Amino acid sequence: MKVTVIDYGLSNLLSVRHAFAHFGAETLLTSDPADVLAAEKLVLPGVGAFKDGMDGLARLGLIEPIRQKAAAGTPLLGICLGMQMLFDESEEFGLHKGLGLIPGRVVKIPDTDVDGHPQKVPHISWDPLYPGGGRTDFSGTALAALKPGEECYFIHSYEAKPVRDEDRLADTVYGGREICAAASHGSVLGCQFHPEKSGEVGLRIIEEFLKTAAEK
C-alpha cells in the first residue's frame, strides 16, 4: 500500500510518515505534480500560515493536480493547515483563495470565550471530538472507528466554517463555542487536529482512511 505525501515546504512530514508506516503503508514524499497525478491516495499535511501554504503549492505547480485528483475521487486527507487549504478561502493575513474542495471559509478563533473572557489563541490542547452535522455518532463516516468524546491533539489559531452542515463530520468545543474538528466532501477528508500526534485515537483515524482508500 502506497500513500503519496505532498511536500510543499510547510509540513510535519516525519510524524506523518511514521504514523502511516505503523500500518505497513509505504509513503512517497514528493513535490512532483506527476507523482500527485499518479497517486492512489494523497495526504496534504501542514503547519504554518494559509497564504504561505497556498503559495508553496502554486510555486510547485501542485494546485491543479490536487484538484484533478479530488475531482476523480482519489482519497485525500488534509491535516491541520492541510485541512484549511481544502476550503474556498481564508481570512488569515488578508483574504486568500484555497483549493476549493470543501465549500466554506477559514476564520480566526475569537480572542474571547462565549462569556466575554479572554482566551488563549492559538488553541493548543487535547480536546474531545463530538459528531457534527446533526449526527449522533460517527458511523458511516471517516471517523467510524471513534466513539464520541475521544480526544485528539489540536494546535491552531484559525478554524474552518463549512457551508454545508453535512460536510461537518466532527466538532470540538473551545471557549464554549463549537469548532469544526473534521470535515469531508466527496473523497476529501480534513482533520483540524493532528491524527499523527493523537496517539491510539489518531492511529484509528489513519487506519480507517487507509481502509477506505483501499476500497476505492
- How is residue 44 annotated by DSSP? E
Pairing relationship of beta strands 168-174 and 130-131 according to DSSP bridges: antiparallel
Of the residues 92, 150, 159, 196, which is catalytic?
A: 196
Of the residues 22, 194, 207, 208, which is catalytic?
A: 194
Task: Please give the Cα distance from 69 to 120 (Å, whole number).
Answer: 37
Burial state string for 15-27 with b = 16 or more CB within 10 A and e = fewer than 16: ebbebbeeeebeb
Of the residues 80, 152, 180, 191, which is catalytic?
A: 80
Task: Please give the Cα distance from 120 to 182 (Å, whole number).
Answer: 21
Per the annotation, the verdict on 194 as an active-site residue is: yes
Short-list 191, 172, 177, CA closest to 125: 172
Catalytically active residues are 80, 194, 196
